[in-house]
Structure 1
């Protein structure tokens, strides 16, 4: 009894958990640079003045659509490689290896002389994105304690939008080649920093490396071997149970609790993409240019990027207080309003003609949209993914959900120009409608996981009594 008391008296140093989570999320910063890259680059590629373009002619609208959307092709295929690799070589090494794709892609951008090379670069970037978005939720979910898992799981969105802002802020004001160099150094720095962080104790325990798992847990908790004894015993029991009931892809649909978890996670990810976020990210400069608000499109885009960073920084602070479900409900409802207002602006521009009295509308509409996206539907689907599945099926589930994200991401970005040609308001009103459906999905389908342990979440899903 006294040993148990002394072990439990050692405080957990949550700063260590956040240190490892931040280091892991530097790869999410790289993802952000890839997502934000098109906003300053596409105007250069479409310009009749090719002096700051690697190509000898302006790109067509069809080529524009493919450059925006092909990142999703790599990102939907890569998770089916990254998931099994995360179980074989570890979450840490999958995240580290993602940088190979990013470095290669930015090198290709530097030497691109034809459009197909840019296509190839975007697919390769997508492979890196798929690796990150499969392994990062697994790693962060497994290193975190129950009371900070919502906060650490929300860091991905914060770092993605920081990477987007990095591309937004630098891209319009430097040459094409300088931006590629600026993006190239980021994955190298990310690897150097994350290399010194420990592997997930769940992964190490699953490989029978109990001593290494204890050392990892000691680092992450800032405790002695005695201090982590009880938690290590729980991890070991969970891992042994997972090994005894080794799951496969079919178990995602055969087992009722997994099916419910998949419905929740895939649904949230689907509505994340159907909210039109990639259209906004990839085309911010073009949207502001077509709105003709009188504000420099590059400056307006940077303002949006700053809003994304500031609002994403709120989520780790409030998510474990307010809960996932409430934030998602607020996010869906307010996003629908912002998108409806933006659609209304473009409708008035086409039908009314004189819109001088509402020229101010696009900027606040997109600011409101981005604030609630970055505090709700941006980070929380990934945070929920990291905590919803048992260890024996987690890598398969992460692969399916990440691929779902990018299948829809490709469809939305690829066919947005066709909707835009009919009238921008069609696209934004459609996205607004999807947000309304998302509100009711969250209200009636999603379960609250605030403050619950991974075991308690499984009980709530019905897999355990």
Structure 2
């Protein structure tokens, strides 16, 4: 082994990478080797199994809420029904944990690696479901939801970083969109099982998922960016070779580019203040935080956490559990479209369609509940809630659900990516907490107020996407940085 291979210095240059390859007996080929994108999708799917676990936590309250609120406590861990106030806290406390966790997850991702932070998120999920099993008081459920939130915060902060760093430019939008697909698949998992099994059985069904994730993701490589940043050039090269399905020679140019980016990041070590000092970073933060804010202000968590209750109060004649499963199936099917079209249509057009159609669906839901509560005659609109929620979920899952996270993974330079991810993820869950915690109070005045308010936010989102959001379709990470900083390439 040559001395170049043994060095632990972070700063190894393009020439050093070439020397390493030559020491292995490789020669440069004139014809570039094809990238095996299936390897990238394999690693992305394994990483996104953590998002599936997040989905089980987000959807958990929909089938469990009716059990906890029922006067018949035979299928509840508690000795009494929970109050509306307790129900609101159980729904919203996951957001408190999720808004705090990113400030630990981001620095840990730089210290121990993206892979190990994602793997460690399972500890929170397993502990939370164990607490659910042994809960005899409401405060134990509060604690469980808070711990679930920590796990959610770890995943939502680090998973976009990992997926963005293992991807090539031409598939980054597609693999970045997988998070939403796996989240809604996890939600459907508990929607489909929860109403038909006991409380305890559902906890067992949920606890096995993070364990399966750990087994599969453990076999995947760490981000080559992380390895390069730690001076582990041999590991970085092997990681990139696995992800691209190429020889050391085939990844030569990309490895040199990664190293150049990492060296620049190390030379210009970013801090939280750099998010605001640099004009390009400020613009990226405004775009990402804005998209995440409108994602939460669309009322999605209200819909996810209370699907069965919404259908029950709508009194459509359809079994609320069945209607909720239908919604879950629609979410999974529509989320499956996003990876296919994200790099064809572009982020901006999909976000515009999403905001426009969501505003219509929410306005229709508001109109239904207005007719039910005020006019008290729904004979003409009794059919409306199911198609309105189906349309709402389709466009959410193809637009404002996955794309803000995909954009987050590609908007920031390496030196401040962890700080930016922490801020944006915390923004997401701060608003998520506000919306879910105080939705019951607004709902008590009339459900139509809530849905019309969410519809209004989506109208504002249309103008935000139209005039503020930058299209990143087909751009390299460096080209995105150049455009954010006013350089045309």
Fold match (TM-score > 0.5) = yes
Structure 2 partner of 1:207: 230
User: Aligned partners of 1:396, 1:46: CA distance in 2, in Å?
Assistant: 40
**Which structure 2 segments of 5+ residues have no match?**
1-25
SS of the aligned residue for 1:70 comes to helix
1:439 and 2:439 aligned: no
Question: What do residues 254-274 of structure 1 show as CA deviations (whole Å, max 9, x unaligned)?
Answer: 111000000000000000000
Question: What do residues 195-218 of structure 1 show as CA deviations (whole Å, max 9, x unaligned)?
Answer: 000000001000000000000000
User: Aligned partners of 2:294, 2:98: CA distance in 1, in Å?
Assistant: 17
User: Aligned partners of 1:167, 1:253: CA distance in 2, in Å?
Assistant: 41
Query: Please, which of 118, 126, 130 is the counterpart of residue 107 of structure 1?
Result: 130
1:417 and 2:440 aligned: yes
1:46 and 2:61 aligned: no
User: Aligned partners of 1:113, 1:8: CA distance in 2, in Å?
Assistant: 66
TM-score w.r.t. length of structure 2 = 0.94
User: Aligned partners of 1:340, 1:124: CA distance in 2, in Å?
Assistant: 35
User: Aligned partners of 1:390, 1:312: CA distance in 2, in Å?
Assistant: 28
Structure 2 partner of 1:219: 242
| Contact 2:351–2:403 under 8 Å retained in 1 | yes
| Contact 2:27–2:249 under 8 Å retained in 1 | no
| Contact 1:7–1:228 under 8 Å retained in 2 | no
User: Aligned partners of 2:147, 2:425: CA distance in 1, in Å?
Assistant: 16
1:264 and 2:287 aligned: yes
User: Aligned partners of 1:411, 1:269: CA distance in 2, in Å?
Assistant: 14
Structure 1 partner of 2:196: 173
Shift of 1:353: 1.3
| Contact 2:28–2:249 under 8 Å retained in 1 | no
Structure 2 partner of 1:320: 343
Shift of 1:356: 2.0
Query: Please, which of 31, 37, 59 is the counterpart of residue 60 of structure 2?
Result: 37
Question: What do residues 124-170 of structure 1 show as CA deviations (whole Å, max 9, x unaligned)?
Answer: 00000000001000000000000000000000000000000000000
User: Aligned partners of 1:50, 1:193: CA distance in 2, in Å?
Assistant: 38
Query: Please, which of 181, 185, 201 is the counterpart of residue 158 of structure 1?
Result: 181
Structure 1 residues 208, 421: closer, same or farther in 2, change over 3 A?
Answer: same
User: Aligned partners of 1:278, 1:199: CA distance in 2, in Å?
Assistant: 32
User: Aligned partners of 1:54, 1:412: CA distance in 2, in Å?
Assistant: 27
User: Aligned partners of 1:107, 1:53: CA distance in 2, in Å?
Assistant: 15
Question: What do residues 102-134 of structure 1 show as CA deviations (whole Å, max 9, x unaligned)?
Answer: 000000000000000000000000000000001
Structure 2 partner of 1:234: 257
Query: Please, which of 82, 104, 110 is the counterpart of residue 105 of structure 2?
Result: 82
Structure 1 partner of 2:157: 134
User: Aligned partners of 2:234, 2:199: CA distance in 1, in Å?
Assistant: 49
| Contact 1:8–1:227 under 8 Å retained in 2 | no
1:91 and 2:114 aligned: yes
1:66 and 2:89 aligned: yes
Structure 1 residues 229, 416: closer, same or farther in 2, change over 3 A?
Answer: same
Query: Please, which of 415, 425, 431 is the counterpart of residue 392 of structure 1?
Result: 415
User: Aligned partners of 1:67, 1:210: CA distance in 2, in Å?
Assistant: 46
Structure 1 partner of 2:17: none
Structure 1 partner of 2:218: 195
Structure 2 partner of 1:23: 46
Shift of 1:464: 5.8
Question: What do residues 22-67 of structure 1 show as CA deviations (whole Å, max 9, x unaligned)?
Answer: 0000000000000000000000000000000000000000000000
User: Aligned partners of 2:226, 2:331: CA distance in 1, in Å?
Assistant: 33
| Contact 1:153–1:383 under 8 Å retained in 2 | yes
| Contact 2:227–2:233 under 8 Å retained in 1 | yes
Structure 1 partner of 2:306: 283
Structure 1 partner of 2:37: 14
Structure 1 partner of 2:450: 427
Question: What do residues 388-422 of structure 1 show as CA deviations (whole Å, max 9, x unaligned)?
Answer: 00000000000000000000000000000001000
Structure 2 partner of 1:125: 148
User: Aligned partners of 2:28, 2:252: CA distance in 1, in Å?
Assistant: 12
Structure 1 residues 11, 344: closer, same or farther in 2, change over 3 A?
Answer: same
Shift of 1:354: 2.0
Structure 1 partner of 2:483: 460
The structure that has the greater radius of gyration is 2
Structure 2 partner of 1:308: 331
Structure 2 partner of 1:350: 373
SS of the aligned residue for 2:29 comes to helix
